[in-house]
Amino acid sequence: EAGVAQSPRYKIIEKRQSVAFWCNPISGHATLYWYQQILGQGPKLLIQFQNNGVVDDSQLPKDRFSAERLKGVDSTLKIQPAKLEDSAVYLCASMTSGRAGEQFFGPGTRLTVL
């Protein structure tokens, strides 16, 4: 079974620039999450999708972050404009519906904002 795919793996941008991350979840997984993990901290949930609908985006900084999951499969997370404090690893995870807690994570995208 193929795992969660993310791209790019690394990205370096300057502040005020825009960036987008892509995630392809495990086939058949209805639930998709985006997390932000700052160095030395645990992952912080940004947004949760169920199919192509948003379940929770309460911790997503909506003035600069946006996410979509068209057709309930792939998802993109965008930051516009980026700030220095956005430097982090952005993790995507997916889960089958109805199963408590077993999320499958991708390798993440490491973003550096200069």
Partner 1 sequence: LAKTTQPISMDSYEGQEVNITCSHNNIATNDYITWYQQFPSQGPRFIIQGYKTKVTNEVASLFIPADRKSSTLSLPRVSLSDTAVYYCLVGGITGANNLFFGTGTRLTVIP
Q: Which residues bind partner 1 (CB under 8 A)?
A: 4, 31, 33, 35, 40-45, 48, 50, 55-56, 58, 91, 93, 97-108
56 vs 68 by CB, closer to partner 1: 56
Q: Which tokens is 80 given?
A: 């516009």
Of 70 and 100, which has the nearer Cβ to partner 1? 100
Cβ atoms of 46 and 35 within 8 Å: the answer is yes
Residues 69 and 113: their CA atoms lie apart, in Å, by 25
Give least dist CB 10 to partner 1, A. Answer: 11
Exposed / middle / buried, residue 75 (Cβ in 10 Å: 0-12, 13-18, 19+): buried
Of 2 and 98, nearer to partner 1 (C-beta) is 98
**Cα-Cα end-to-end distance for the chain:** 37
At its nearest, how many Å lie between partner 1 and the CB of residue 38? 11
Residue 31 or 75 having the CB closest to partner 1:
31
Count Cβ atoms below 10 Å from residue 78 Cβ, excluding itself.
Answer: 14
Q: Name the minimum Å distance from CB 16 to partner 1.
A: 27
